[in-house]
Structure 1
Amino acid sequence: MKKFLILASLFLASVGVSADDANKRIAEISDAKEKGLAVAKAMKAHNTGWGDSEAKMTMILRDKSGNETDRKVRVKSLEVEGDGDKGLSVFDEPRDVEGTAFLTYSHIEGNDDQWLYLPALKRVKRISSSNKSGPWMGSEFAYEDLSSFEVEKYDYKFLREDEIDGEKVYVVESYPTYDNSGYSKTITWVDQEHFRVHRIEFFDQKGDALKTMEVSDFKQYLDKYWRGHKQVMTNHQTGKSTVVKWSDYQFNTGLDEDDFNKSSLKRAR
């Protein structure tokens, strides 16, 4: 079954299915599981083929009293044919995290590989699969939130059609099938025009509401690929939140596999 899902995802991406065609196919499906899977495949197909990218990120950490801490990060990403994306994040500010670097290898099947370089200790720390639900660099994002979306790592259930800010959206429930997830499920709002994620609700292992991420300020690149330039992750159980603002996106900058290995963590400046 997993091999079929992989082939189906690659087929959708290769033929460049239009949003209209994808919506017609989704409308024809009555089974909630198959319909949810079809939405997920369309999401992936509409964000495949961008190659590599670089961007800057400002991360604002807010505690429940409203106190803020800013962090400046440079992010590099690379698509990998037949597997998940690779990503490298390098912290530039503030001084206490300067030089910290985070490397992730997302995978279509099994657990992702992640490493964190701590300049104060001058060593690379591997993030164990049992710690993927922990907070990333003090933010409300978990380590597992930093992986690329891969269709095969979830089971799906279509819930309904809805609207967000006047846009028609699909609402789909997803259940992680990989080990050690901190979530029992997520609910995702995906627009029908471009298959962009506008909102994700996260539920903890007890089934209680844990976090909500809102995505806005979308911009299009290469006349095809959309990126949300603002993400707000709110933790309903702690009252904390993290605001992420993206800027300076560049695509096809010539990145390759050599820019995403463990030795690159120590020299990432």
Structure 2
Amino acid sequence: MTGFHATKRRVELAAAAIFITVLAAGPRAGATSLPPESDPAARGLAIAEEVEKRDRGWGDARAQMKMVLTNASGETSERELRFMMLEVDRPDEGDLSLITFDRPRDVAGTALLTHAHVLQSDDQWLYLPAVKRVRRISSANKSGPFVGSEFAFEDLAAQEVGKFTHTWLRDEPCESRTCHVVERKPLYEGSGYTRQIVWIDMEHYLHRRIDYYDRKAALLKTLTFGEYELFLDRFWRPHDLEMANHESGKTTRLIWESYEFRTGLTPSDFAPTNLERAR
């Protein structure tokens, strides 16, 4: 083989290797086709749908958590709780979840059950072991604080896409990343918020921050998401969440200590009649 043909052959092989590498790598993470910026409503909805699509298919999960409450003076108290979730594969229904407190003794056995919906108000029940009764949470009370924390009852329900309108505002740097910034407005009855501003990273489409505006349109709370961990090579979960109340100066952190997926949970595990046995 002549020098010219040998050189040409090496170039062809190098080009082929590059082509094979690109095919093997697949599309770049986060490379998602979105509607143009000139249509912010369609673009915002497409971003929200992409977030939901990437987190579909996990089935069911269990988690152990620690809740750390900090008052305006910096004093803290801790609680330990369990979280169970069941994915519901129906367009008009949201996921099921059950939160149960284990410690300290004064809240042990307290449980919150949520049946999330899309086109109607979520169903939520709270079991209070001190009075040994299950109380249904009305739509008017969903904006109230959950067991003295800075999380409202509505914050702990599945945030289904169809429960909000979505409007893209801008793209901007967020820490070391670039984020889509989307405004969403609740469509469900009884929300304590007029709107929420959500930062979603453009690589993995994960929530990084949410600002909550109250019924007077003032900034009330900010939720920040800690570093994420990948499970089952597909599903990202944050290590901790921190909700800061700008009016009271209080914060609540949810620190996730363990996750288990596909543990065999069924709808019967999320029946209101089982709440008294949640302990």
**Normalising by structure 2, what TM-score?**
0.87
Please report how far the alpha carbon of residue 165 of structure 1 lies from its aligned counterpart in structure 2 after TM superposition: 2.0
Look up the match of 2:237: 227
Matched-pair contact (CA < 8 Å) for 1:19–1:194: no
Structure 2: give runs of 5+ residues left out of the alignment: 1-25
Does residue 249 (structure 1) correspond to residue 255 (structure 2)? The answer is no
Please report how far the alpha carbon of residue 21 of structure 1 lies from its aligned counterpart in structure 2 after TM superposition: 8.6
Look up the match of 1:173: 183
**What secondary structure sits across from 1:25 in the alignment?**
coil
> Which 4+ residue blocks in structure 1 deviate beyond 3 angstroms?
18-24
**1:149 counterpart (159, 168, 173):** 159
Look up the match of 2:52: 44
**2:124 counterpart (87, 106, 114):** 114
Look up the match of 1:80: 88
Please report how far the alpha carbon of residue 24 of structure 1 lies from its aligned counterpart in structure 2 after TM superposition: 3.9
**What amino acid is the match of 1:251?**
F
- After superposition, residues 4-43 of structure 1 pair within 5 angstroms as 23-26=31-34, 28=36, 30-43=38-51
Between the aligned residues of both structures, percent identity stands at 45
**What amino acid is the match of 1:77?**
M
Look up the match of 1:62: 70
Given the superposition, is the C-alpha separation of residues 66 and 260 from structure 1 closer, same or farther in structure 2, using an over 3 Å criterion?
same
Matched-pair contact (CA < 8 Å) for 1:170–1:189: yes
Does residue 92 (structure 1) correspond to residue 92 (structure 2)? The answer is no
Matched-pair contact (CA < 8 Å) for 2:193–2:212: yes
Structure number, greater radius of gyration: 2
Q: Cα deviation per residue 1:76-105 (whole Å; 9 max; x = unaligned)? A: 000011120000111000110011111000
Matched-pair contact (CA < 8 Å) for 1:217–1:228: yes
Given the superposition, is the C-alpha separation of residues 21 and 198 from structure 1 closer, same or farther in structure 2, using an over 3 Å criterion?
closer
Does residue 195 (structure 1) correspond to residue 241 (structure 2)? The answer is no
Matched-pair contact (CA < 8 Å) for 1:102–1:116: yes
The CA distance in 2 between the partners of 1:24 and 1:71, in whole Å, is 40
Matched-pair contact (CA < 8 Å) for 2:63–2:259: yes
Look up the match of 2:115: 105
Number of residues of Structure 1 aligned to a counterpart in Structure 2: 252
The CA distance in 2 between the partners of 1:153 and 1:19, in whole Å, is 30
**What amino acid is the match of 2:189?**
D
Look up the match of 2:20: none
Matched-pair contact (CA < 8 Å) for 1:56–1:74: yes
Please report how far the alpha carbon of residue 108 of structure 1 lies from its aligned counterpart in structure 2 after TM superposition: 1.5
Look up the match of 2:19: none
Structure 1: give runs of 5+ residues left out of the alignment: 1-17
Cα RMSD over matched residues? 1.4
The CA distance in 1 between the partners of 2:137 and 2:219, in whole Å, is 25
Given the superposition, is the C-alpha separation of residues 94 and 19 from structure 1 closer, same or farther in structure 2, using an over 3 Å criterion?
farther
Q: Cα deviation per residue 1:39-65 (whole Å; 9 max; x = unaligned)? A: 000011011110000001100111101
The CA distance in 1 between the partners of 2:270 and 2:64, in whole Å, is 17
Does residue 240 (structure 1) correspond to residue 255 (structure 2)? The answer is no
Q: Give the stretch that moved more between structures: 137-146 or 22-31.
A: 22-31
**Normalising by structure 1, what TM-score?**
0.91
The CA distance in 2 between the partners of 1:109 and 1:238, in whole Å, is 33
Please report how far the alpha carbon of residue 137 of structure 1 lies from its aligned counterpart in structure 2 after TM superposition: 0.8
Please report how far the alpha carbon of residue 167 of structure 1 lies from its aligned counterpart in structure 2 after TM superposition: 1.1
The CA distance in 1 between the partners of 2:220 and 2:27, in whole Å, is 31
**What amino acid is the match of 2:160?**
E
Q: Cα deviation per residue 1:178-228 (whole Å; 9 max; x = unaligned)? A: 111000000000011111100000000111000001101210111000001
Matched-pair contact (CA < 8 Å) for 1:19–1:193: no
**What amino acid is the match of 2:132?**
K
